[in-house]
Amino acid sequence: MLCEHLSPTRRAVLGASGALFAWAFMPRFAHAAGGRDPRFVTIILRGALDGLTAVPPIGDPDYEALRQQSAMRIEGTNAALPLDGFFALHPSMRNFQRLFRAGQAAVVHASATSYRERSHFDGQDVLESGFPAPGHVETGWLNRLLEGLPAGERVAPGLAERVRGLSVGTTAALVIRGKAPVLGWAPSILKPADGDLAPRLADLYGQKDPVLARLLQEGIDTGKIASGIDIKARGGPGDPNGMEQMARGAARLIAHPEGPRVAALAFEGWDTHAQETDRLAKLLTGLDNALAAFEQELGPVWKDTAILVATEFGRTARINGTEGTDHGTGTTAFLAGGAIRGGRVITDWPGLKEAQLHDARDLAATTDLRAIIKGVATDLLGANAGHLRDVVFPGSENVQAAKGLIV
């Protein structure tokens, strides 16, 4: 699977006490809808989520024949969780179901990017870069979105740069790479540094390297925001514990008045070619707990938060001979947060008859993921439609922003 690595220099990375590195903090967005102070989180599921397992269309008459022994039902052992009578939810996602019932979560089914092939590398390029075709790995759509957002009141005017975004993980996901400066954070895998380390480094660099001294001080300031994050890396981005830890730390940082307002995380391991039932139960538990961690840690700002969960493409409608699914097309995206107009499955359902499947094998995609992102960016963050069309998602002239996603 695609895993782009940065080439950080010593001036770009500060690993002091907890893998925190930063340049500064961001201003509030000037024209966010309703004068609110919003947060927007993007979670990338790398490996291609099987949307027909995450949100099974139990009301479709062709569903059980395609999934056979893997088909879910709303009764019996390990029953799916009902949503609206036609769609259900994987039993590992009880927190999401609770949010759905509270009107704070929605499903976007039969969705996809513009990509219609089945390469993880290319599919992730398209999903994270925002370009209509692979081959663009310099910047991501979320970073370009940050560049175009109107700046408002400075939260921390004494700091040098304006950081609007947060990258969570040991390497920055492509989706948030670009010119707009970002804060980086990952759960620590090292024991805490001695208390006198930071002052000693500050004194050393103050004498020898003023640029690095400034970066170090801003890293210390970031540490003050992150204080109280008692998180040690157990597992990683493909482990349920790791997912929850990443979410909890991210939430505490973006909840802070001086913290970033936009964040990107990437969870790994969603390529379920074999034994999908057990693997997805574990992975979806991690995702569900991560969403609950955001809700808990964001506290009062949850009401102004939107979380998008997206993946590069879906999986085949039929199960294969190893009780898994192969690379497909249409899939499921999730929206959660107090700012989401939830309690619904957003879809133009294409059906599961063979003639209705893409290439006679995949769930057909009827909703362009870019329309969903444009809708959230416009109504929550006050993004400009022209900037979204021309810069954030080049080549998306015919993709209109989805309406009514934000309360």
**CATH code, 232:** 3.40.720
Domain that holds residue 211: 16-392
Q: Which residue positions in the chain have pLDDT lower than 50?
A: 1-27, 153-162, 190, 226-227, 230-233
User: What is the per-residue pLDDT for 4?
Assistant: 31
DSSP H or E segment with residue 95: helix 94-101
pLDDT given for residue 189 in this prediction: 58
- According to DSSP, the residues that pair with 167 across neighbouring strands are 184, 264
Q: Are 267 and 238 in contact (CB under 8 A)?
A: yes
Q: Which one, of 132, 98, 97, 95, lies nearest residue 113 by Cα? A: 132
166-195: pLDDT as tens digits: 999 989 999 999 999 898 888 865 455 555
Which is nearest to 128 in space by CA: 396, 401, 393? 393
Greatest alpha-carbon span in the chain: 73
pLDDT at 145: 96
pLDDT at 271: 97
CA 275 to CA 282: how far, in whole Å? 12
Q: Give the pLDDT confidence score for residue 257 in this predicted structure.
A: 87
The DSSP bridge partners found for residue 316 are 362
401 within domain boundaries: no
Predicted local distance difference test score (pLDDT) of residue 160? 31
Does a structural domain hold residue 157?
yes
**What's the pLDDT tens digit per position in 197-219?**
556 556 665 666 776 666 556 55
Amino acid 122: pLDDT: 97
- Give burial (CB, 10 Å; 0-12/13-18/19+) of 135: exposed
Judge whether 11 lies within some domain: no
Q: Please report whether residue 117 resides in a domain.
A: yes
- Residue 403 falls inside a structural domain: no
In one letter, which amino acid is 58?
I
Closest Cα partner for 128 from 341, 315, 310, 319?
A: 310
Quick check: is 397 in a domain?
A: no
Nearest to 38 by CA among 383, 385, 289, 310: 383
Question: Is 276 in a helix, a strand, or coil?
Answer: helix
User: Does residue 398 lie within any of the structural domains?
Assistant: no
Angle at 12 between CA 217 and CA 172, to 5 degrees: 115
Q: How far apart are CA 295 and CA 82, in angstroms?
A: 22
In a domain, 94, yes or no: yes
- Write the DSSP symbol of residue 61: T
> What is residue 218's three-state secondary structure?
helix
Tell me if 25 sits within 8 A of 155, measured CB to CB: yes
Give the pTM: 0.85
Number of domains present in the structure of the chain = 1
Model pLDDT, residue 203: 63
